[in-house]
Structure 1
Amino acid sequence: MLGRTLAESFSTLRVQCRAGASTSQRCMASVARPESVIPVAQPVLLDLTPPLKQFKDQPRAAGNVVALDPTVFNHPIRRDILHLCVIHHLDGLRQGTASTKTRGEVRGSGAKIRPQKGTGKARLGDGQSPMLYGGGVAFGPKPRDFSTKLPRKVIQMGMRVALSAKVKERRLGVMTQLDWPCAKTKFLNQKINELGLRKTLFITGEDNVAIGLARAINMLKSVSATTVDKVNVYELMQWERVVLDVKAVEYFERTLGKSVPIAPLPLVAEAVESTSPEVVA
């Protein structure tokens, strides 16, 4: 009896010693392990595009850059995601109103055309047979809904990829404000030609496009203007160039950005020579 008690006490002590050793080893390992360093993403610097109309309270485009969120404007290019978003948009545009009449909907008698036997000719039923002229259509189109579903996160990734593709192609610009107070199409066309912004989609972060700009741009086929809540991946890929205003950039970064540490820089800042990321002209 005494031997069994001593054996149990010895086994308990041995288990405690093992547990203590493992705990100390874990503590030493945790102390010896170096702390992980979280990488800080560098913003994408873009030269500020000269505005259509320079106002007094706006900074000059020359010598100023705009700092863009890299999670939105420097996303890896995914052609498959762009393809899914474009097909999803085009499917939603289809009317799906094509309709043909079946043999049960074509007007005419249901009587048999000729006797089954005795004429030496092929057997026929009624005059609405699909193989007869004026008969019904076999397996013809009927009204249907062609729209397809796509996850919201896939559509958001498509927007990031489309904006990043424009940045990599150097076909995305940022203006401080999108406005044209005079509302004259002739002068706006001259200004667009002067800035080299033909075939450009202007996107504003306001609720509506400025009245003067909307009236002047309505007569031009080579440019268009829209708001951030109406633009989609198809339009971004369709137009050769895309120009955003500062509020549109803030909207995209707020709705499409990811929570990663980014080097702190103001949205619009002066371009200085340093070890900062390269400026995309």
Structure 2
Amino acid sequence: MASAPVVDQSGLRTGSLELSAEIFDCTVNGPVMHQALLRQLANGRQGTHDTRNRREVRGGGRKPYRQKGTGRARQGSIRSPQFKGGGVVFGPTPRSHRQDMPRKQRRLALRSALTVKAQAGELLILDGFTLEEPKSRVVAEMLHAIGSEGGSESPAMTKVLLVLGSHNEVLERSARNLREVRVLLAANLNIRDLLTGDTVLMTKDAVEHLTEVLSS
């Protein structure tokens, strides 16, 4: 069984939580993780890039000079690609960059990424966070304490992915002002945020949600 340290609201480690080996200690599949990351990056592209070809550029309807007798190469339009301001040959056109990926492979990629984080000691479980009103200072102090206890030289510069099982308005508002913290629901967990986060801080209900979804 895999396990992860449990931290409290003050950032101190209070124990450990046993995790599902199927989700957090599986065989890591690097190629599938890479494919899932490329898919997410591609699907995030707008695909609105465009250039004007010779037909679309304004002007150029008149022949710039006569066909013969000038000693110059013959030209039919000042909007030919070789002229400044002319059309672009084989330029980008609007298109969809969308890539599809089977659900089983997407879930395998998430399980692999979670396993990498757990094995590297970069997965922490948050337990007992209670505040009556949003306070960014409390979250910042908690992260600083976690980084200091883990031996990080610059805990303030660590990128933290905070994964919640359900909406927690107080915690979300407390964390969203911190530049290096990204807050996500477990239902919206994705491969890019998992791999780019230096530390993954996950609530217990988020662990339960991921265990239920990714094991099915």
TM bin, normalised by shorter chain, reads 0.7 to 0.9
DSSP 3-state at the match of 2:67: coil
Contact 1:72 / 1:163 at 8 angstroms: preserved in 2?
Answer: yes
Q: State which of 104, 112, 131 in structure 1 corresponds to 2:82.
A: 131
Q: State which of 235, 244, 262 in structure 1 corresponds to 2:193.
A: 235
1:77 aligns with 2:37: no
Q: State which of 115, 120, 139 in structure 2 corresponds to 1:169.
A: 120
| Displacement after TM superposition at 1:231 (Å) | 1.5
Please give the root-mean-square deviation of Cα atoms over the aligned residues, in Å.
Answer: 2.0
Structure-1 separation of matches of 2:196 and 2:105: 19
- Matching residue's letter, 2:91: G
Percent of aligned positions with the same letter in both sequences? 29
Question: What is residue 51 of structure 1 aligned with on the other side?
Answer: 8
Contact 2:9 / 2:127 at 8 angstroms: preserved in 1?
Answer: no
Question: What is residue 61 of structure 2 aligned with on the other side?
Answer: 110
TM-score computed with the length of structure 2 as normaliser: 0.88
Give 1:53-68 correspondences, 5 Å limit: 62=14, 64-68=15-19
In structure 2, relative to structure 1, the CA distance for the partners of 1:123 and 1:179 (3 Å cut) is farther
Structure-1 separation of matches of 2:208 and 2:4: 15
Q: State which of 191, 212, 218 in structure 1 corresponds to 2:176.
A: 218
DSSP 3-state at the match of 2:51: coil
- Matching residue's letter, 2:161: L
- 1:219-250: CA deviations, max 9, x gaps? 11122221011120110000001111111111
Structure-1 separation of matches of 2:178 and 2:126: 20
Structure-1 separation of matches of 2:95 and 2:169: 39
| Displacement after TM superposition at 1:185 (Å) | 1.5
Count of residue pairs brought into register by the alignment: 207
DSSP 3-state at the match of 2:171: helix
- Matching residue's letter, 1:144: R
DSSP 3-state at the match of 1:149: coil
| Displacement after TM superposition at 1:72 (Å) | 0.6
In structure 2, relative to structure 1, the CA distance for the partners of 1:115 and 1:189 (3 Å cut) is same
- Matching residue's letter, 2:8: P
Give 1:195-274 correspondences, 5 Å limit: 195-196=146-147, 198-206=158-166, 208=167, 210-257=168-215
Structure-1 separation of matches of 2:79 and 2:130: 63
Q: State which of 187, 192, 195 in structure 1 corresponds to 2:143.
A: 192
DSSP 3-state at the match of 2:3: strand
Contact 1:177 / 1:246 at 8 angstroms: preserved in 2?
Answer: no
DSSP 3-state at the match of 1:215: helix
Contact 2:10 / 2:141 at 8 angstroms: preserved in 1?
Answer: no
Query: Rg: which structure is higher?
Result: 1
Structure-1 separation of matches of 2:126 and 2:177: 22
| Displacement after TM superposition at 1:191 (Å) | 2.3
Structure-2 separation of matches of 1:68 and 1:92: 31
| Displacement after TM superposition at 1:215 (Å) | 1.6
Contact 2:4 / 2:121 at 8 angstroms: preserved in 1?
Answer: no
Contact 1:178 / 1:245 at 8 angstroms: preserved in 2?
Answer: no
* Range moving further from structure 2, 115-124 or 155-164: 115-124
TM-score computed with the length of structure 1 as normaliser: 0.68
- Matching residue's letter, 1:203: V
